[in-house]
């Protein structure tokens, strides 16, 4: 609050002593200021330079351009002297940079993902998917044989493969032109591995890595599109493609029956009989995910129930803990109370323990048959196993975690309410309840209302509390995904990661955007309402 020196009780001391803050600010002017500025800007420039090299290396030119432009802008703003037009920017730029980097960019990214089909099976790019489909379509030759292999150079210094069929034991030399038998006796074997071949110079094991890429690309054609390809350094297998890619038409054709697999516009090659080639690729699909959220009964059916419970959970957590926190703050605020500090410290404990820990501990305490709570009170409440009791447990534990926060906030706010106002109310003949309702609470709410809204928004998305205590459970009979205590965010998590075919990041993003709008609307409305409270001042 005040680092200002020179207390009022010592007016005799007339020498001016600036505050530490003022002195700190003064350090930014003159030559020390210049040094500070140079150091900061150097760090910024160095980071930008490093980031630029990385971006250039990955050919991410839009981001590269943005980075260079903003770095130049920052340098200009802070280095060009005495330009009155630039002075306000000096204060605005750092905040704006952080706002863009940590708020706007993630939101844009989420919106972008929400409009794609980014999910298991649709992760890679189309070009990569085509490569992968080609690779997956290779089938080992009918014989099922494999070859022991050694890379070697022939007399001309060309790379060849010395091969031994592991079924028949016959030996060959494989070149880019084809397979030629060589006498079995000319090949030296040791424990099944080829260690020598007459007339060829084997590549030493130590140098194999150096020709790794050449080996990866090496194919010994066998006719009929089949070929022998090296698998590592000592094995090769004959492989036959089952699909052919037609780059002109952009389709895959199955060799056996001529079935055509076309790009279905949703990131997959699909045949006329709905057969799909794996993998697919990530692509933009417009508002498909949003319409899925509306039309898919799996998502739509429990949505309203989950939404209502989310409101109930967030609102009751905030109200209960505020009421309890305020009550405790008033009780412990009584002047002359013994051990006041001790009580206050105890109150902070739930706040001081990491929530992750206490949530897991509560899960154990509330266990149906073996939990401390039931055995201590000799009751048998199905805290976590009954849909209704689980809701009660979740609210109670959340309240337990949130009370200390409101206790602290209320304690601070209470002390800022002028005592004269309360004295005046007493003189006017107000009783304690009347004073609390008409004077203390309204004044308190001016300070606390924004915090109540923030806490509501936080609890609305309080994934940890739900996930660590009940995991959204127990399950209800009416539908498969949402459990009795699932709030929107944990429900979204389950939708995205525990249904159908793996992880659906795109669907999760689209529902996250819906949640964002819900929370933003509520917060906006509430802040607008609390403006009226401020007129009390």
Partner 1 sequence: MNVVRSRKRLPYFLVAMAALLAALVVASPAMSQHKAQTLVIWSDHDRLAAVTKVANAWAATHGVSVQVVEKDFGSIRDSLSTVDPTTAPDVIVGAHDWTGQLAASGLVLPLYPSKATLAQFPKYTLNAFSYGTAVKKLYGAPVAVENIGLVVNTKLAKVPTSWANLEQQALAFKKKKSGNLAIAVQQGANGDAYHMYPFFSGLCGYIFGTNRAGNLDPSDIGVANPKFLKNAPLIDKWNKEGLINSAVDSGIAQNAFLKGQSAFWITGPWNSDTLKASGLSFKVVQLPRISCQSVPFLGVQGFLVTKFATQHGVESQARDLVGSYMMTPAAQLALAAANSRFPANTAAGKQVTDPVLAQFGKASVGGVPMPNIPQMNAVWADLGTAWVKSTKGAGATPARASFITAARNIADKIG
**Which residue, 276 or 423, is less far from partner 1 as judged by CB?**
276
Which residues are bridge partners to 160 per DSSP?
Answer: 152
CB of 511 to partner 1, least distance (A): 16
To 5 degrees, how large is the angle CA 184–CA 189–CA 191?
A: 140
Q: Which helix (H) or strand (E) holds 230?
A: strand 226-230
Paired tokens of 90: 């000096």
What Å distances lie between residue 495 and 121, 166, 410, 501, 503, CA to CA? Answer: 16, 49, 39, 11, 9
Paired tokens of 236: 């090769």
Paired tokens of 329: 């703050």
CB of 5 to partner 1, least distance (A): 34
CB of 147 to partner 1, least distance (A): 8
465, 443 Cβ separation under 8 angstroms: no
442, 460 Cβ separation under 8 angstroms: no
The stretches of 181-295 forming alpha helices (DSSP H) are 212-217, 288-295
Paired tokens of 432: 């304690």
CB of 252 to partner 1, least distance (A): 12
Paired tokens of 314: 């967030």
CB of 503 to partner 1, least distance (A): 6
**Which residue, 24 or 210, is less far from partner 1 as judged by CB?**
210
Virtual torsion, Cα 178, 183, 185, 188, nearest 10 deg: -10
**Which residue, 205 or 441, is less far from partner 1 as judged by CB?**
205
Determine the angle formed by the axes of helices 297-332 and 340-352, rounding to 10 degrees: 160
- Of 375, 377, 372, 374, nearest to 386 by C-alpha is 374
Determine the angle formed by the axes of helices 387-416 and 297-332, rounding to 10 degrees: 40
- Of 189, 203, 194, 198, nearest to 160 by C-alpha is 203
474 cis-preceded (ω within 30 degrees of 0): yes
CB of 121 to partner 1, least distance (A): 5
Cα(464)–Cα(359) distance, integer angstroms: 8
238, 213 Cβ separation under 8 angstroms: no
- The per-residue DSSP string of 394-428 comes to HHHHHHHHHHHHHHHHHHHHHHHS-HHHHHHHHHT
33, 45 Cβ separation under 8 angstroms: no
CB of 34 to partner 1, least distance (A): 6
Cα dihedral across residues 266, 271, 272, 275: positive or negative = negative
- Of 318, 304, 238, 243, nearest to 278 by C-alpha is 243
> Which residues of 301-413 form beta strands (DSSP E)?
none
**Which residue, 298 or 417, is less far from partner 1 as judged by CB?**
298
CB of 465 to partner 1, least distance (A): 15
Cα(290)–Cα(506) distance, integer angstroms: 10
**Which residue, 332 or 475, is less far from partner 1 as judged by CB?**
475
């Amino acid at each position: 609050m005040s680092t200002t020196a020179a207390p009022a009780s010592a007016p005799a001391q007339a020498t001016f002593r600036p505050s530490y803050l003022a002195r700190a600010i003064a350090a930014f002017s003159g030559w020390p200021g210049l040094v500070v500025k140079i150091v900061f800007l150097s760090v910024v420039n160095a980071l930008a330079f490093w980031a630029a090299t990385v971006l250039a290396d990955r050919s991410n030119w839009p981001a590269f351009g943005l980075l260079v432009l903003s770095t130049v802008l920052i340098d200009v703003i802070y280095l060009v002297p005495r330009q009155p037009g630039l002075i306000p920017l000096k204060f605005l730029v750092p905040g704006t940079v952080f706002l863009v980097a940590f708020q706007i960019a993630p939101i844009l990214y989420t919106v972008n993902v929400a409009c794609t089909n980014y999910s298991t099976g649709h992760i890679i790019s189309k070009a990569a998917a085509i490569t992968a489909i080609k690779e997956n379509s290779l089938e080992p030759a009918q014989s099922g044989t494999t070859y022991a292999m050694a890379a070697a150079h022939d007399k001309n210094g060309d790379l060849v493969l010395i091969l031994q069929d592991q079924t028949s034991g016959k030996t060959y030399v494989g070149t880019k032109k084809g397979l030629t038998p060589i006498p079995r006796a000319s090949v030296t074997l040791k424990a099944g591995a080829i260690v020598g071949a007459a007339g060829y110079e084997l590549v030493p094991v130590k140098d194999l890595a150096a020709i790794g890429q050449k080996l990866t690309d090496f194919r010994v054609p066998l006719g009929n599109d089949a070929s022998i390809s090296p698998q590592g350094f000592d094995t090769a297998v004959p492989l036959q493609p089952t699909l052919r890619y037609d780059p002109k038409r952009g389709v895959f054709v199955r060799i056996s029956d001529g079935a055509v697999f076309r790009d279905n516009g949703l990131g997959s090659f699909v045949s006329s009989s709905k057969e799909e080639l794996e993998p697919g690729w990530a692509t933009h699909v417009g508002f498909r995910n949003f319409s899925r959220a509306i039309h898919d009964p799996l998502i739509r059916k429990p949505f309203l129930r989950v939404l209502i419970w989310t409101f109930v959970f967030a609102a009751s957590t905030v109200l209960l803990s505020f009421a309890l926190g305020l009550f405790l703050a008033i009780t412990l605020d009584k002047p002359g109370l013994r051990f006041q500090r001790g009580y206050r410290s105890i109150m902070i404990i739930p706040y001081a323990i990491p929530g992750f820990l206490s949530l897991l501990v509560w899960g154990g305490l509330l266990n149906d048959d073996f939990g401390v709570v039931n055995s201590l009170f000799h009751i048998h409440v199905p805290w976590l196993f009954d849909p209704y009791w689980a809701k009660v447990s979740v609210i109670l534990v959340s309240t337990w975690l949130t009370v200390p926060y409101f206790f602290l906030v209320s304690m601070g706010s209470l002390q800022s309410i002028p005592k004269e106002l309360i004295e005046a109310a007493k003189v006017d003949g107000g009783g304690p309840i009347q004073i609390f309702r008409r004077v203390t609470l309204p004044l308190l709410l001016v300070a606390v209302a924004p915090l109540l809204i923030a806490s509501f928004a936080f609890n609305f998305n309080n994934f940890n509390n739900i996930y660590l205590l009940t995991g959204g459970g127990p399950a209800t009979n009416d539908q498969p995904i949402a459990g009795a205590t699932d709030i929107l965010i944990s429900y979204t998590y389950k939708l995205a990661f525990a249904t159908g075919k793996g992880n659906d990041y795109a669907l999760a993003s689209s529902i996250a955007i819906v949640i964002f709008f819900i929370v933003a609307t509520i917060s906006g409305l509430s802040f607008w309402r609390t403006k009226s409270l401020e007129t009390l001042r």
